[in-house]
Chain A
Amino acid sequence: MLTREKLIEKALLLLALSAIGSLALITIFIFLEGLPIILKTGLSHFIFGAHWAPTKGHFGILAMILSSLYVTLGALIFGVPLALGCAIVLAEFAPPSLTRILKPTIELLAGIPSVVYGFLGVILLVPLIRTYLGGPGLSLLAASLILGIMILPTVISISIDAMHAVPTLYREGSIALGATQWQTVRKLVLPAARSGIITAIILGMGRAIGETMAVIMVAGNALSIPTSILDSVRTLTANIALELGYASGAHREALFATGIVLFIIIMILNTAATLIAGRR
């Protein structure tokens, strides 16, 4: 009996390690593939170079880094206020029966394939922007709006959990001092849930910066540093997906190097989220 128990324990451990193993493999692989070209081009040249002409040997990804950052920032500007408002209503004001229905519904948003978001963006949002705001329509603005919606389920769901984790005892104490429900939320629940909410926003950021398909479909993918929100942009992820099919040699390595940059950005975000969530 005991040996069988041990055996199962070992098998489970192996399964757990396999997940970490694949992470390690991915890391090693992209670094092996991508690092040589960074070293050859020079790190600062690679990151701060604005000229990307891989077939001619120019590997500067600054335009794409900036585009990724702008698109992510835009997604936060649109998505976070909406998500927080929604989370506050569902966590604090809506009757629990309504929250029980609405929260899973919002979480369904996360299950919609990103190509569907992109499709909706192309047929609904892009023409609207082109008609009413000008420019090509396929733009930084379109990508930000679509991503703003795509990060909603992540930010809402984790924010609600963070607010629910604030003990009822605190709320009662506040109400018993004569606070209104809104005062209680603003002065007590939000500060108490702050680390959870920041974590939610950072994870939303990670989702926005890593999103590929929807962005390719609505961002226009022009290779330049955007000067207006109506400009067409190409993000880091979009560039990898668009060019990997025909890239070879140094070009292919440069795409892996782009992957390294993304990998490091996401690692930083996730580490920050974990550190903040762990702080109480």
Chain B
Amino acid sequence: MNPDIITIRHLDLYYGRFHALKNINVSFARQRITALIGPSGCGKSTLLRVLNRMNDLIDGVSITGQVLIDGENIYHRETNLMQLRKKVGMVFQRPNPFPLSIYDNIVYGPTLHGRPNRNQLEEILVRSLKAVHLWDELKDRLGQSALSLTEEQQQRLCIARLLAVEPEILLMDEPCSALDPLATLQLEDLMQELAKAYTIIIVTHNMQQAARVSSDTGFMLLGDLVEFGPTSAIFTRPRDERTEDYISGKYG
């Protein structure tokens, strides 16, 4: 099996006339955590949203180039977007559990893609909640509204909701920005665990977080992917002056 699950070739993205991503060429490794860092507006969230085609929802976006996931170009005309997004799940910056019960949040995804019976749903529920360490806390209150949970629990629930549709890739768009430092550390532990079975791409403006959790790091600036490599190398021996300036805190 190819060690790279995602390969991006000559990717350009425009919002109207604004050139938001400039000739991106990069590959992301399977079952690793890859971090995308860079100052606000550098295009890191946009690049993340290229991978599950969430940019399609925005008017006036045009994209050229290739994005291969397991060798298939997801920008091919016949790509099934529902299947793509099932395979490539996303965790958002602000926890966004649906205004439904905890139970209904978890079974939301599985019932979109099939007609699982009660037993299967039960099995999915337990497995997903256990994977994010929420089962013991929530097993007696599954009927309660998901909005009654703490922010950290909500974000975990969103991850569990995602795991319920059995994705392969998890896109995380600054998943800890609404959380306090302790909750952030706990979520980072969870990411490390999940990386044993899933490929994780995380966008973060927190360089220490990238250094703590990721195997590979990409530094982006003004739509360019300036430098990409093993996290230890990026943080200790950056090759590009702009990377070094950002990491040493000269801007950003």
A44 at the interface (CB under 8 A from B): no
Residues B109 and A170 in contact, CB atoms below 8 Å apart? no
Chain B positions within 8 Å of A192 at CB level: 98-99
A175 at the interface (CB under 8 A from B): yes
Chain A positions within 8 Å of B59 at CB level: 95
Interface size (A, Cβ < 8 Å)? Answer: 18
A180 at the interface (CB under 8 A from B): yes
Residues B86 and A177 in contact, CB atoms below 8 Å apart? yes
- Stretch from B129-137, B158-166, B206-214 forming part of the interface with A: B158-166
Residues B85 and A177 in contact, CB atoms below 8 Å apart? yes
Cα-based distance from A183 to B109 in the complex (angstroms): 10
Contacts A169-B94, A183-B112, A187-B108 known; A175 to B85 CB distance under 8 Å? Answer: yes
- A179-196 interface code vs B (CB 8 A; 1 in, 0 out): 110010001100110000
List 13 A-B pairs, Cβ < 8 Å.
A167-B96, A170-B99, A172-B92, A172-B96, A173-B92, A173-B161, A176-B89, A177-B85, A177-B86, A177-B162, A178-B81, A178-B109, A188-B100
Cα-based distance from A163 to B112 in the complex (angstroms): 21
A174 at the interface (CB under 8 A from B): yes
Cα-based distance from A187 to B89 in the complex (angstroms): 19
B85 CB to nearest A CB, Å: 4
Contacts A170-B99, A183-B112 known; A176 to B94 CB distance under 8 Å? Answer: no
Contacts A169-B96, A188-B98, A192-B99 known; A176 to B108 CB distance under 8 Å? Answer: no
A204 CB to nearest B CB, Å: 24
B82 at the interface (CB under 8 A from A): yes
B36 at the interface (CB under 8 A from A): no
Interface size (B, Cβ < 8 Å)? Answer: 27
A179 CB to nearest B CB, Å: 5
Chain A interface (Cβ within 8 Å of chain B)? 95, 167, 169-170, 172-180, 183, 187-188, 191-192
B3 CB to nearest A CB, Å: 26
Nearest B residue to A181, CB-CB: B57
Residues A177 and B92 in contact, CB atoms below 8 Å apart? no
Chain B positions within 8 Å of A179 at CB level: 82, 109, 112
Nearest A residue to B56, CB-CB: A175
B99 CB to nearest A CB, Å: 5
